Structure 1
Amino acid sequence: MELYRELSEVPADFGPSVVTIGNFDGVHTGHAEVLGTVVRLARENKLVSAAISFDPHPSQVHRPESAHIEIMGQQDRQRFFRELGLDCYLLIHYTLEFSRQSPEEFVRSVLVETLNARYVVIGDDVRFGHKNSGDLSTMQQLGEKYGFTVVAIADLMADETHRTSSTRIRELLEAGNVEEAGRLLGRPHLMTGEIIHGEARGRELGFPTANMAFDSSGYVPADGVYAGWLIDENGTRHPVATSVGTNPTFEGVNRRTVEAHVIGRPEEPVENFNLYGQKVSLEFTHHLRPMVAYTGVEALIEQMNQDVDDAKRLLGLDSE
């Protein structure tokens, strides 16, 4: 997959193409349907498949004081685009100046003149152009004017009352419901980042943890304990029980951390299992319990043993 970060980077002879537009935060099942349609149409018509997105997210430019936290970082997003078979990803640097383009200016300069679009695949709730003044009807009118066909994809419904959306997935993660969030994503929710040294409190308790760096990408779910998998730089998947929160049993801890205890991790020699400095992915598959304070370390250790047993059962490891 080719990645372009400026319109000027796109070759003059690019296309003709099938194009879609969106933020694609999380690359959830609704996004996968749109992107899958783009890839299918491109292959059927011997065209180039392309997606357009924006960095930073438009909300971070227009409403920086209240901009949402993204579900997934750009590198993970691009990885899933490749897996879906996309040929090209145009990641446009989003600015206030760029946002002032009218719907027609955007379509003409980006879709027509740069990407030579023959098909434009969009959700039926699409908004684009200055102050989101363009919609599906606008795109269809511009398609007739500039010679491309618009293919509208209806929303996927998550349930009877909610459509599948990045907003809904963030709500579920905020509630700790990683199981339902994973269903809408089509895979477990994940974070990606470097493993750093922590305060070694888990090691002292007999549960050493791999601590995610504070600048890791991906939405941090609600405080609590989760079962899941840690994927290291070699692609090896390790079962984990992950703690998210501020360690309320210990005084003076007020910064949220994400700490994964690798189940079955060898204690010695440490050089045989050293994740420090590695960039890993951490998947959240099951919510085990909320984060609570325990009266004493012994009660905490007993609960942590139970957490590991519960994680092993949910991950299908209890018979090993």
Structure 2
Amino acid sequence: MNALLPRSIKVVTLGVAGDHSLRTDAPLPVGACAAIGSFDGVHVGHQHVIESAIAVARRKGVASAVICFDPHPQTFFHRDGKPFRLMTLSQQLRAFEAMGVDYAFVLSFDTHLSALTAEDFARLILRDYIKLSHVSAGFDFQFGKRGGGHAKDLVAFGEQLGFTTDILPCQTDTEGHKLSSSAVREALLAGDAKLATEILGRPQAYLGEVIHGAKQGRTIDFPTLNLTLGDYQRPRYGIYITQTALPDGRVINGVSNIGVRPTVGGDIELLETYLFDFSEEIYGQVVETALLDFIRPEAKFASFDEMKLEIQNDAAKARAWFQKM
């Protein structure tokens, strides 16, 4: 069994056809309580919204759910934009599952869905199709054509259409950091893996298939696992202390380079991870590498020998970091 895939949460994919009829791949429960949002990162602020829906569901004795969107609305409207995602859909589903959510309703975000007015979205999607009894959302939630509906409108539609609502205010941590996806992205761009972890409630993690690289690491006794970054938000290029989860559930400590490898003339962004005390061949397997701390920026060295020495120092710092944990 692949430990990196959701197992128990019930996932229902929903879509809207051109005539506004519903497309669905599974039966829907009646009267569920759902949290709704993009939930990219499923950070601590998102978790509060989801916990609100779960609490109401338990009081009512009905199913709890999360409504999310695939693709992310920003991806749909800005298809040539820079990569920005914090999570893949499968990572989101695992995060929902870990919180004890019963259902994930994945709304296909396309031309038909984006054309619905806010009122049609509330009436057709939330009441008529999914038949919700309660909806929880964040204060900045927008819905409907051109984002015309806001959180206050959701409350008003709920009163008209027969479902209750809970709108959560802006969430901050004890030090005043805003708990938001944009705050996570800012932390990653600064290389502040620790702050990203605090906002997310878990380390930022990159899921991907292990690909063949140039195998230059083997020539200096530091073989690496290589992942492409795909649609993920690029963190600051540099060397990170990391842990990598394998499909069989093992978690291996290591050190990773994220960047283009200027010393070897690289021009493709990769996440390259040297796993400590690990020598297995796992090409083609899907792994997940989590950023725990930042060591240094990516650098161009004058020679392979100089680079090897610096990598040895990086690995020693990472091993020492784990020994202190």
TM-score, normalised by the number of residues in structure 2:
0.90
The yes-or-no answer on 1:225 pairing with 2:260 is no
Letter of the structure 2 residue corresponding to residue 242 of structure 1: S
User: Do the aligned partners of 2:244 and 2:287 also contact (CA within 8 Å) in 1?
Assistant: yes
Question: What is the distance in 2 between the residues matched to 1:195 and 1:209?
Answer: 10
Tell me if 1:261 matches 2:274: yes
- Preserved contact between residue 286 and residue 314 of structure 1 (Cα < 8 Å): no
Q: Where do residues 7-46 of structure 1 align in structure 2 (5 Å cutoff)? A: 7-9=22-24, 14-46=29-61
Structure-2 residue corresponding to 1:281: 288
2:206 and 2:229 in contact (8 A); partners too: no
Provide the C-alpha distance between the structure 1 equivalents of 2:308 and 2:26, rounded to a whole number of angstroms: 60
Per the alignment, do residues 290 and 67 of structure 1 end up closer, same or farther by CA in structure 2, a change over 3 Å counting?
A: closer
**1:162 positional shift:** 4.8
Q: Which amino acid aligns with 2:290?
A: E
Alpha-carbon RMSD across the aligned residues, in angstroms, is 1.9
CA distance, structure 2, for counterparts of residue 20 and residue 73 of structure 1: 18
**Partner in structure 1 of residue 17 of structure 2:** none
- Cα distance in 2 for partners of 1:246, 1:68 equals 16
Matched, 1:292 2:307: no
Task: Show CA shifts across 1:9-47 (max 9, x none).
Answer: 276762211122111101111111111121121112101
Change (3 A) 1:105 1:124: same
Q: Count how many residue pairs are aligned between Structure 1 and Structure 2.
A: 310
Q: Could you report, residue by residue, the CA deviation over 1:203-233 in whole angstroms, capped at 9, with x for unpaired residues?
A: 1001111111x26564332210000111111
Distance verdict in 2 for CA 1:152–1:130, change over 3 Å: same
Contact kept? 1:211, 1:259, Cα under 8 Å: yes
What are the equivalent positions in structure 2 for 1:172-187 lying under 5 Å apart? Answer: 172-187=187-202
Alpha carbons 1:124, 1:152 under 8 Å: kept:
yes
Q: Which amino acid aligns with 2:234?
A: V
For residues 170-213 of structure 1, the C-alpha deviation after alignment (integer angstroms, 9 at most, x for no partner) is 1211221111111111011100111122111111001111111x
Aligned partner of residue 50 in structure 1, secondary structure: strand
Aligned to 2:13: 5
Identity, % of aligned pairs? 27
In 2, the alpha carbon distance for the partners of 1:23 and 1:46 equals: 26
Describe the shift of the 1:164–1:152 C-alpha distance in structure 2 as closer, same or farther (beyond 3 A).
same
Q: Report if aligned partners of 1:5, 1:93 keep a CA contact under 8 Å in 2.
A: yes
Give the Cα–Cα distance (whole angstroms) in 2 for the partners of residues 223 and 135 of structure 1. 37
Alpha-carbon contact 2:84-2:231 (below 8 Å) kept: no
Of 179, 202, 206 in structure 2, the residue corresponding to residue 164 of structure 1 is: 179
- Give the alignment of 1:135-154 within 5 angstroms: 135-154=150-169
**Counterpart-to-counterpart distance in 1, 2:257 and 2:223:** 12
Stretches of structure 1 that go unaligned for 5 or more consecutive residues are: 267-272
Q: Distance in 2 between matches of 1:159 and 1:67?
A: 31
Q: Which residue matches 1:80?
A: 95
Is 2:315 the counterpart of 1:308? yes
Unmatched 5+ stretches in structure 2: 1-8, 15-21
The alpha-carbon deviation at position 310 of structure 1 amounts to: 0.6
SS at structure 2 position matched to 1:141: helix
Report the Cα distance in structure 1 between the residues aligned to 2:46 and 2:241, rounded to whole angstroms: 26
Give, as a single letter, the amino acid of the residue that structure 2 aligns with 1:259.
Answer: E
C-alpha separation in 2, matches of 1:238 and 1:66? 34
Secondary structure, aligned partner of 1:295: coil
Match of 1:16, as an amino acid? G
User: Normalization by structure 1: what TM-score?
Assistant: 0.91
Judged with a 3 Å threshold, the aligned counterparts in structure 2 of structure 1 residues 275 and 216 are, in CA distance, closer, same or farther, namely farther
- Alpha-carbon distance in 2 for matches of 1:313, 1:17: 48
Distance in 1 separating the partners of 2:240 and 2:27: 49
CA shift for structure 1 position 61: 2.1
Say if 1:317 and 1:50 are closer, same or farther in 2 by CA, change over 3 A: same
The one-letter code of the counterpart of 1:260 is T
Alpha-carbon distance in structure 1 between the residues aligned to 2:130 and 2:229: 34
* Distance across 2 between alignment mates of 1:12 and 1:192: 30
